[in-house]
Amino acid sequence: MAVDSAPQMQKSADPNARLTDTLCTSLRRRQIVGSLNVALATAALIQNIVRSARYNTIDELLALIKAVGRKLTEANPKELAAANIIRRILRLIREEYRAAAAAHVSSAPNSIPSTPLMGPSTPGINAPLDHYLSAAQSATVDAQYFPTHIQMSRQTSLSNFVAMRHSRAQMERSGALSGGTAEGYSANTTNLFATPNGNGHGRGSSGMATPRASVDSDEFMKHSAKLKPLLIQAIEEVVGELETTHEDVAKGAREHIHSSEIILTMGHSRTVEAFLKQAYKDRKFTVVVAESAPSYLGHSLASSLSASGIPTLLIPDSSIHALLPRVTKVILGAHSVLANGGLFALSGSLACALAAKTHSKPVVVTTGQFKFAPAWNLYHEYGAVDFQGPGAVIGEQGKGGGGGMEGVEVVDPYYDYIRPELVNLFVTNEGDHPPSYIYRLIKEAYDDEDVEI
């Protein structure tokens, strides 16, 4: 018994394990709700793990973060924001590591340019230059194709300076970090120090092998602890981006809402709230808010908009279809967005989107890109939706009007799945995109190896 309890005691003594279990419990019990709250909690957990974890290689750190991501996903598979943040952080860690490795390789003292030194062409490749050229021509060719040691040192120093001073984004645009073709590096983090041909030699356009100084990866790993502040700073940038999501989405509000419009929304999305308040600074319009029973979150949104001076009308959900002919635009929030352009939104949003489709009204979804998930809705429309207890619908002892009779099944989902053909535009913190382009944004945001955590 003492032997079996030792691993459990050691596990409970790990502060990162305790924090992970606490967050998993909160997700399982729905003590943390909302994509933004889940994303912030996940980013804070990973930041603490990166700060305090012990690892010898970058692959060990990536494996540790992936293990945490799997636990969070198992705790609540429907909270896709947790896995999205894990994927985003994994990509940032690889980018920081590759940038540091590229700078380390470029600044190696014995590095030699991989471009071969071109000599005279055939016949007689080993013949002296003055055998075919005059003295003046020989000097010209010698200066052009055979740089002196001082010139090579200057070129190497300049390349080192550029490699050290370039930011990660600049290095990616220049091709130094895009798969390794420009510098001969492998895309895998474990092969960052591999030579192009695997034998420590590069090969130029003339087919001549050129010696390339091999860089000891162990020497680089001795200083890898210096990367930890950079990784923590990268995660802090993600947290800062999450905290300003509402403001960033609202920046383009005046381009989508015009004066004298009647806007229909439902529930209480903080992104939609910030979007409408920002638009009202330049445009004068009216907002119709559906109360979104049984949660009645529309009441709080209507109160907030009315307090800001925006003309607001609160209606029951049953009046949505009747008022849509007078509505000019429907604006909804999103819980998560899938790769096919569909989304999960507050329960009742599907009825609103279907009514808008019937009356040919545009549906605009405001959301942050951290909600974009590399997943497809492969189930029935109700198969991937969470359900809550029917108590809020049927009331106590079945006197709420929704049940109480034997054999009656009451369905009360948290979210509705809205098909991509019901949405006209996604307004995000990174710009406006149609539903058909969502898969491309997801492809650019996450690495392929992290699609399945």
> Last residue of some domain: 185, 204, 234?
234
Q: What is the value of pTM for the model shown?
A: 0.72
For residues 264 and 230, state if they share a domain. Answer: no
- Provide the CATH number for the domain around residue 70: 1.20.120.420
- Domain of 50 in residue numbering reads as 15-104+225-234
pLDDT at 371: 96
Does 325 share its domain with 437?
yes
Query: Domain for residue 134, yes or no?
Result: no
User: Of 202, 234, 266, which closes a domain?
Assistant: 234
Question: Under a CB-based contact definition with an 8 Å cutoff, are residues 133 and 121 in contact?
Answer: no
Query: Residue 218 domain-assigned?
Result: no
* Residues 340 and 440 grouped into a single domain: yes
Supply 396's token pair.
């106590």
Q: Is residue 291 part of a domain?
A: yes
Question: Pairing state of beta strands 201-203 and 286-290?
Answer: unpaired
What pLDDT is recorded for position 343? 93
Residue 214 lies in a domain: no
Domain stop point among 204, 234, 264: 234
What is the tens place of the pLDDT at every residue in 1-48? 444 544 443 445 688 899 999 999 999 998 998 899 999 999 999 999
Q: Alpha helix locations (H) across 149-226?
A: 149-165, 168-174, 217-222
What's the pLDDT tens digit per position in 249-280? 999 899 999 999 999 999 999 999 999 999 99
Domain contains 217:
no
Residue 283: closest CA among 313, 315, 250: 250
pLDDT at 143 over 70: no
Cβ atoms 94, 102 nearer than 8 A: no
Q: Do 351 and 317 form a contact (C-beta atoms < 8 A)?
A: yes
Q: What is the pLDDT of residues 347-406, one digit of tens each?
A: 999 999 999 999 999 999 999 999 999 988 655 455 556 777 777 777 665 555 545 566
Q: Do 230 and 96 touch, CB atoms closer than 8 A?
A: yes
Phi, then psi, of 265 in degrees rounded to 5: -145, 175
Q: How many domains does the chain have?
A: 2
Structure tokens belonging to residue 320: 């949505």
